[in-house]
């Protein structure tokens, strides 16, 4: 039951109950661990929520076709992206303000990612600095006697390129291994008021872009906020500014994907921003094949938007994705049980992925081909 607005959210659990057996279980519990305003901000989509619902409905429209009595010996889920090994085709998507879910926020998430050999993409709007997050991952990896999991930095371009370049240079110095340029969220509605102690730590000291009224009655178009939205020339500039791999997040159309590759993008992330920006977009799953055909294997293709299970992941891999990003479930697990909760959620997903692969007769990621997915009649 969701708490009344006058009640305080429940503190994180200190032990993981036996009835938490899926990401859906975490989602059901999570509401009681957020303030009502924070929960609404996390869960709601833009507009009427068409895209939010479409992300989930797309998975229900597709079924799986297993091969009988396949030889499962020697199977594994590991893959390489940009020279680093990932234990599974799974990464943690960039999420802003993770201290809304737990006091340790991104520090807890990076420790969980490190423990489970899972890559993490850190948001420009993280509630700890990118340096603090990198150091937390590095220190925890040392305690465990292993390498830190891959860390990528998600970049929201700032109105002044000097500030964008400063963020890139800080990410390079802190050991981040790729830049994820998000292009689809420069303009979005938000009614969330951040509570005391939660802020965009990476942007401290930088002017925050705000929408203000302008002479002539302009609402948005023709204002500085709209004028600062990402353009193709910004991608070209970023390509010249860093040697790190650049992934462009927010791709929808194949023709745009081709142009991004031509301008030097090293990877693409098919995304509708979890249904949080432009309502009416098709599901992320429905967009994969068009973008995959456009890039024709020249660069890795990743995807996010509504993934909640290992079977969801397999469907995306079969349609052409190399890896899947998990967004909101991070916050659910973080709020419910902190770092152990996030680690447990990752473990659940990886277990479901391997069970699904075994059931399909696909012991290796390369075996998950288009032929393993079918569109269900009447769906």
Query: Would you say how long the chain is, in residues?
Result: 379
Report pTM: 0.93
Average pLDDT value over all residues in the chain = 90
Instruction: Specify the range with the lowest mean pLDDT, choosing from 20-29, 44-53, 106-115.
Output: 44-53
| Residue predicted with more confidence, 315 or 284 | 315
Q: Residue 6 pLDDT > 50, yes or no?
A: no
Cα–Cα distance for residue pair 5/10, rounded to 1 Å? 13
Q: Where are the beta strands (DSSP E) in the chain?
A: 62-64, 79-81, 84-86, 90-92, 119-122, 151-155, 179-182, 246-251, 267-270, 301-304, 323-326, 373-375
Cα–Cα distance for residue pair 11/250, rounded to 1 Å? 34
- Give me the mean pLDDT over the 58-75 stretch: 95
**Nearest CA to 87 among 125, 115, 48?**
115
Give the 3-state secondary structure of residue 147.
coil
Residue 230's pLDDT is what? 79
Q: Residue 249 pLDDT > 80, yes or no?
A: yes
Residue 222's pLDDT is what? 62
Residues with catalytic function = 273
pLDDT bracket for residue 5 (50, 70, 90): very low
Q: Residue 4 pLDDT > 60, yes or no?
A: no
Q: Where are the beta strands (DSSP E) in 260-313?
A: 267-270, 301-304
Query: How far, CA to CA in Å, does 99 sit from each of 1, 38, 196?
Result: 22, 11, 11
Yes or no: say if 238 and 246 are a contact pair by the CB < 8 Å rule: yes
Burial label for 40, CB within 10 Å (0-12, 13-18, 19+), is middle
Instruction: Specify the range with the lowest mean pLDDT, choosing from 118-122, 229-233, 356-360.
Output: 229-233
Residue 3's pLDDT is what? 42
Share of the chain above pLDDT 90, in %: 74
pLDDT bracket for residue 279 (50, 70, 90): confident
SS3 per residue for 300-330: CEEEECCCCCHHHHHHHHHCCCCEEEECHHH
Q: Which value, in Å, is the radius of gyration of the alpha carbons in the chain? A: 20
29: Cβ contacts below 8 Å, ≥ 6 apart: 20, 332, 336
- Its CATH class, for the domain covering 23-186+231-375, is alpha beta
- Give me the mean pLDDT over the 239-258 stretch: 92
Cα–Cα distance for residue pair 125/136, rounded to 1 Å? 17
Q: Residue 166 pLDDT > 80, yes or no?
A: yes
Strands 62-64 and 373-375, sheet pairing: antiparallel
pLDDT bracket for residue 7 (50, 70, 90): low
Instruction: Specify the range with the lowest mean pLDDT, choosing from 75-79, 120-124, 215-219.
Output: 215-219
pLDDT digits (tens, 9 = 90+) for 143-154: 999 998 899 999
- Give me the mean pLDDT over the 271-282 stretch: 79
Torsion 189-193-197-203 (CA) sign: positive
């Amino acid at each position: 039951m969701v708490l009344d607005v006058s009640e305080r959210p429940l503190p994180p659990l200190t032990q993981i109950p036996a009835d938490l057996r899926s990401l859906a279980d975490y989602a059901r519990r999570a509401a009681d661990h957020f303030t009502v305003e924070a929960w609404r901000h996390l869960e709601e989509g833009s507009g009427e929520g068409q895209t939010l619902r479409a992300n989930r409905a797309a998975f229900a429209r597709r079924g799986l076709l297993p091969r009988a009595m396949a030889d499962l010996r020697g199977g594994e889920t590991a893959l390489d992206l940009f020279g680093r090994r990932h234990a599974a085709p799974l990464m943690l998507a960039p999420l802003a303000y993770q201290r809304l879910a737990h006091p340790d926020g991104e520090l807890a998430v990076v420790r969980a990612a490190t423990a489970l050999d899972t890559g993490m993409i850190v948001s420009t709007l993280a509630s700890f600095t990118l340096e603090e997050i990198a150091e937390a991952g590095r220190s925890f990896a040392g305690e465990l006697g292993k390498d830190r999991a891959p860390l990528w930095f998600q970049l929201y371009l700032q109105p002044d390129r000097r500030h964008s370049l400063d963020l890139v240079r800080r990410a390079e110095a802190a050991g981040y291994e790729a830049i994820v340029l998000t292009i689809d969220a420069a303009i979005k509605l938000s009614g969330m008021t951040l509570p005391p102690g939660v802020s965009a730590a990476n942007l401290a000291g930088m002017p925050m872009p705000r929408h203000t009224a302008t002479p002539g009655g302009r609402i948005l178009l023709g204002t500085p906020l709209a004028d600062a939205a990402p353009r193709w020339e910004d991608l070209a500039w970023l390509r010249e500014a860093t040697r790190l791999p650049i992934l462009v997040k927010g791709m929808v159309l194949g023709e745009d994907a081709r142009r991004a590759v031509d301008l030097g993008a090293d990877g693409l992330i098919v995304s509708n921003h979890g249904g949080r920006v432009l309502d009416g977009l098709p599901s992320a799953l429905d967009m994969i094949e068009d973008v995959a055909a456009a890039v024709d294997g020249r660069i890795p293709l990743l995807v996010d938007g509504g993934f909640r299970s290992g079977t969801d992941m397999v469907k995306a891999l079969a349609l052409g994705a190399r890896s899947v990003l998990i967004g909101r479930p991070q916050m659910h697990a973080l709020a419910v049980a902190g770092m152990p909760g996030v680690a447990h959620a990752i473990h659940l997903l990886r277990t479901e992925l391997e069970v699904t692969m075994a059931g399909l007769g696909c012991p290796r990621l390369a075996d998950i081909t288009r032929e393993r997915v079918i569109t269900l009649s009447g769906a």
